[in-house]
Structure 1
Amino acid sequence: MAIVNYFAAARAAAGVTESEINGSTLGEVISAASSQYPQLVAMLPGCSYLVNGSAQSDLSTEISADDVIDVLPRFAGGA
């Protein structure tokens, strides 16, 4: 499972600082996080994502179990 870190408003919406989420692509991980934390759904379209510290906007990016994904809302560096 990938580690997903939530920052700023995403952290407040999820109610956690990080979680372990299954998914083989960035899009699958984000979708699974949305299902697990429904309050994230409204804010995710305005978020940016870092995968292992590198900005990533392609939701088809492959994700492995040891990857770290950072979810950044607009004011914390998001889109």
Structure 2
Amino acid sequence: MNVRYFAAARAAAGLEEERFDLPAGSTVADLLDAILAVERATPPAGTPPLPRILARSSFLRNEVAVRDHSTALEADDVVDVLPPFAGG
């Protein structure tokens, strides 16, 4: 599945998107574990670490909000990581 990071999540992850190949039946929680298992550079000054951002983020699966981390994912899904942000 493809993960796209936005705003502070992009800064903390160090990239805009990345691909994860997880076994069939994997869930959003499994994907989050896989994201956190990646070794990453220290985020820029003023950017919280990725684990903290993920804990507060909203997620979209194929452009539909996902609130239940036990939701199963498919190999071709796109998961967006949307941290809280202000403005508008």
TM-score (norm 1): 0.87
Cα distance change of structure 1 residues 6 and 37 upon mapping to structure 2, 3 Å threshold: farther
Unaligned runs of 5+ in 2: 41-48
Q: Which structure shows the bigger proportion of residues in helix conformation?
A: 1
2:54 pairs with 1:47: no
> Which deviates the most, 6-15 or 40-49?
40-49
CA RMSD of aligned residues (A): 1.5
Q: Which structure shows the bigger proportion of residues in strand conformation?
A: 1
Unaligned runs of 5+ in 1: none
Cα distance change of structure 1 residues 7 and 37 upon mapping to structure 2, 3 Å threshold: farther
Name which of 34, 52, 77 aligns with 1:67.
77
Identity across matched positions, percent: 45
SS at match of 2:85: helix
TM-score (norm 2): 0.79
Q: Which runs of 4+ in 1 moved over 4 A?
A: none
Structure 2 partner of 1:56: 66
Structure 1 partner of 2:44: none
